């Protein structure tokens, strides 16, 4: 009898741990249906080497972070020359001369004879297919290194994790999350701060179906390309026919690329809270298509860069908002502004691009103001 009670108690304990250390909720929008590691038994890395191994192997994994994984110093330091394209003040980022970037693109910029940065930050950890990377409570922190989802990797969830302190003083010192050739990716309740370059970048190769939800993109920094404490290199969505849902995120203290949309990406930006942007939020190159609805722009100098080359529909007209229902499944929702510039795109031709696709629901801009309390790691 005693033996059976012990066995039953142990089974209940294992069940509770598994239930607690599992993905919460489900992806909305374009990445709907992503399962990540699915029902694989959770694994709990204890070293940086073990974390790298779990992320890149061929097995479905639910990888649970229970502490800070600090990569600074794990691959040594690099000292080399660079340049200062944005100024030599203490608040300005300096550029690493990656692939002779200074010579090719900034030949007139002041040269910097010695830059010392952490090598681990430059290239993120490779993530294989069918992975869930999740943080336990507010413990899941990765310091000094990001992740790379490339080479056809698919069905990946990153949830409740903070990426921080990736060579923040130096452009080309590394990105937090890099995607370049992937499909079915859900980034949820993630915090990124003190990043060298892009917080999230979807590269030139197709990233296909991506949902970024409930994340905090924190651009507050001591070093920036605009030399004003606001990070310029926020989010860059390029690629080939990418479908990106950006919902319920808190994007603050940036000065550009919040996001930049390029290639022929279709972006649904819904119920995000943009705050304290010293320059501009949206950029859009030719070929980009953006529907922005139910967002809040507070203390944002320019909601969009002047003279966007891409196409945008900004939900400003009740008449045209009703046209959304045939394509998005709901009437588009107006955006809201407080001491901010406004979006101006009114191109309804891009609405048809949403027909038949998984589209996230839209709440009011008023409801989006609560994003500041719900977005980021440790808030799930």
| Structure-block tokens of residue 144 | 């000094």
Triad 321, 282, 185: Cα angle to 5°: 85
Phi, psi of 11 (to 5 degrees): -60, -40
215 neighbors 238 (Cβ within 8 angstroms):
no
Strand pairing category for 216-218 and 250-252? parallel
Cis peptide leading into 259, omega within 30 of 0?
yes
Strand pairing category for 111-118 and 177-188? unpaired
Residue in 148, 162, 197, 257 annotated catalytic: 257
Helix (H, G, I), strand (E, B) or coil at 319: helix
Nearest CA to 316 among 299, 286, 291? Answer: 291
Q: What dihedral do alpha carbons 206, 330, 213, 342 form, nearest 10°?
A: 90
DSSP 40: P
Instruction: Determine whether 209 is an active site residue.
Output: no
333 neighbors 321 (Cβ within 8 angstroms):
yes
> Rounded distance, CA 156 to CA 35, Å?
7
Half-sphere CA count of 209, side-chain side, radius 13 A: 19
| Structure-block tokens of residue 148 | 């790379």
SS (H, E, C) 323-379: HHHHHHCCCCCCCEEECCCCCCCECHHHHHHHCCCCCCCCCCHHHHCCHHHHCCCCC
Q: Would you please indicate which residues are annotated as catalytic (active-site) residues?
A: 257
């Amino acid at each position: 009898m005693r033996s059976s009670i012990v066995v039953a108690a142990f089974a209940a304990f294992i069940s509770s741990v598994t239930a607690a250390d599992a993905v919460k909720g489900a992806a909305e929008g374009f990445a709907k249906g992503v399962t990540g590691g699915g029902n694989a038994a959770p694994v709990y890395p204890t070293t940086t080497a073990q974390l790298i191994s779990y992320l890149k192997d061929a097995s479905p994994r639910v990888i649970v972070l229970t502490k800070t994984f600090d990569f600074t110093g794990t691959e040594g330091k690099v000292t080399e020359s660079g340049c200062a394209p944005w100024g030599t003040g203490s608040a300005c980022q300096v550029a690493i001369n990656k692939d002779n970037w200074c010579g090719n693109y900034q030949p007139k910029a002041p040269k910097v004879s010695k830059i010392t940065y952490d090598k681990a930050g430059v290239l993120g950890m490779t993530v294989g297919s069918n992975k869930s990377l999740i943080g336990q409570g507010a413990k899941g922190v990765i310091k000094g290194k990001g992740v790379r989802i490339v080479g056809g990797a698919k069905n990946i969830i990153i949830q409740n994790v903070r990426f921080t302190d990736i060579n923040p003083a130096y452009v080309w010192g590394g990105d937090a999350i890099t995607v370049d050739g992937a499909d079915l990716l859900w980034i949820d309740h993630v915090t990124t701060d003190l990043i060298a370059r892009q917080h999230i970048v979807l590269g030139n190769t197709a990233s296909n179906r991506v949902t970024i939800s409930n994340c905090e993109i924190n651009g507050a920094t001591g070093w920036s390309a605009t030399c004003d404490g606001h990070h310029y290199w926020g989010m860059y969505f390029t690629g080939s026919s990418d479908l990106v849902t950006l919902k319920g995120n808190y994007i603050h203290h940036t000065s550009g690329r919040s996001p930049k949309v390029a290639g022929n990406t279709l972006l649904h930006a819904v119920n995000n809270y943009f705050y304290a942007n010293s320059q501009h939020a949206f950029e859009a190159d030719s070929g980009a298509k953006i529907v922005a609805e139910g967002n809040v722009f507070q203390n944002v100098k320019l909601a969009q860069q002047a003279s966007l080359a891409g196409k945008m529909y900004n939900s400003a007209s009740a008449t045209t908002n009703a046209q959304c229902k045939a394509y998005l499944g709901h009437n588009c929702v107006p955006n809201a502004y407080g001491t901010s510039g406004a979006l101006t795109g009114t191109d309804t031709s891009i609405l048809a691009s949403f027909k038949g696709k998984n589209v996230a629901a839209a709440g009011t801009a008023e409801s989006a103001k609560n994003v500041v309390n719900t977005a980021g790691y440790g808030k799930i």
